[in-house]
Amino acid sequence: MNSRFDVKKDLPKSPKSLYVTIPAFKEPDIITTLRSILNADRTGLDIQVKVLINSSDTEIPEVVDINRRSEEEVKAFMHSQNCETWMHVDHVSLPSRYAGVGLARKTLMDAAAWYFQDKDVNGLILALDADCEIQRNYFQVISKHFKTASDQAASIFFEHPLQGTEDDTAIMEYEWHLRYFINLQKWAKFPFAIHTVGSSMCCYSEAYLLRGGMNKRKAGEDFYFLHKFIKDEICGEINGTTVFPSGRISDRVPFGTGRAVGKYEDETYVATTYNPTMFKILKLWNSQVELYYRGSKPHEVHPALDLYLESIDFDIKIQKLLKHVKSLKAFKKRFYQLFDAFQLMKCLHHMRSDFPDVPILKSAQFYFDQIEKGESTENLSLRRALLKIRQLDRQRNDFSWYFEY
C-alpha cells in the first residue's frame, strides 16, 4: 500500500466511481441500510460498499456478541443477494484509546482513498451510517453533481423519518435545531453555513488524501472533517436526493442525534435552541467586516460580543492578518478562516450567559416572522415548521450570493 506521503496527484476525476463507507458499532439492523443501497439506481456507475463492524479491544462481551451476529447477518445477506463482488464487510477491534466513530470512519475512508489510488482514478468517497436509508436516486444525483460542479466535497440533504405520531417530537425538535442553526448562520451571512452530518457527506479521494483524511475524534469528527473543505470554499450542497438517518435513542457517541433524542427519557426535559438575538448581533457585526480592512472597527456591537472578541485577542489577530493580504477579497477569505465555524460555536457559547436558549417553538416563530417572511406563524406547530424549513432548504441549491466578497 502507498504511504500517505506518496499521493498520486492530478488523477482523472471519475464521478462514476463511488465507494460507500459504513461504520457499524452495536447496530441492530444493518441489513435495512444494505437493502436500501441494493435498491438504489446504480445504472452506469461503479459502486463499491464497505461495512466496518468495529468495537474497542476492551469492549464488553455483550457488544462483541452483537457485532459478531451482525457480521454473520451481513455476510449471509451479501451472499443471498449475489453482491459479494461489490459489497464487503470487515470486523475489527480498535485500540481502546482511539476506538470510536472517527477512527472507524478514518479506517474506511483511508481504504477507499487508496483503493482509488491503486486504480489511478480520483473517485468519490461517500460517508454513510449503518442506521440510514437512502433515496433511490442517491448515487445518480451525487455522480451528476460532481460531473458539473467544481466542488471537491459536498453535504447531502437529509431528513429523519417521521411516523406521524407524538413519538416524533424528539427527532423533530432535534432536526429543527440543526436546520435553524445553519439557516441563522446563512441569514447572518457566514460563508461556512453548511450541514456537517456524518452520514450525509462525500468527497473526492485525492482531495481527501491531500487534506490529511478523516480524524480520530470519538464525536464531532464529521464537523471537523467537512470544514476542511468548507474553509477552502470547495464544499457544495446536494439537495436533489436524501439520506434518511435513524432518529433512535443511542449511547454510542457523547452527542449527536441519538444523545439528543435520549434526553426525552427525562419527562421534565424541555428542548431549547440558540437565542436568535445572538444572531441579530452577529449579523450586524458581520455586515461591517470591511471596516477592519479599512483600519477601523465595527460600531454598535453588543458588549457580549466585544467581551468574547477581547478574550481571544481578536484585534491583535486582525492586525497580523492585515499584513498578509493585499485586497478586500483576500482579507475576507482570511477573515472567515480566522473566525470560522468552530470559533462561531465558541462565541455563541460565551454569549449564552447574556442570551439564554429559547424554546424550540419560539425559535420557529422568530424564524418565520423575521427571516422567511410571508409564512404565517398563526397556530404554528413544530411539525409544520419542520416540514416548511425542509422544503425551503431543498429549494436552496445556490448559496453563492452569501460568499460575495
**Amino acid (one-letter) located at 133:** E
CB 18 within 8 A of CB 128: no
For the chain, which residues make up each domain, given as ranges? 14-265, 276-397
37-78 pLDDT, tens digit per residue, is: 999 999 999 999 999 999 999 999 999 999 999 999 999 999
Q: Percentage of residues in the chain with pLDDT exceeding 70?
A: 91
pLDDT class of 118 with cuts at 50, 70, 90: very high
182-213 pLDDT, tens digit per residue, is: 999 999 999 999 999 999 999 999 999 999 99
CATH 3.40.50.620 assigned to 14-265: no
Mean pLDDT of the chain: 91
The predicted pLDDT at position 248 comes to 64
CB 277 within 8 A of CB 355: yes
Q: Give the residue, 72 or 4, on which the prediction is more confident.
A: 72
271-309 pLDDT, tens digit per residue, is: 999 999 999 999 999 999 999 999 999 988 999 999 999
The predicted pLDDT at position 3 comes to 46
Is pLDDT above 60 for 122?
yes
The predicted pLDDT at position 400 comes to 38
Q: What is the rounded CA–CA span in Å between residue 177 and residue 58?
A: 35
260-274 pLDDT, tens digit per residue, is: 555 555 666 789 999
Q: What is the rounded CA–CA span in Å between residue 368 and residue 363?
A: 9
The helix-helix angle for 169-187 and 382-395 (nearest 10°) equals 50
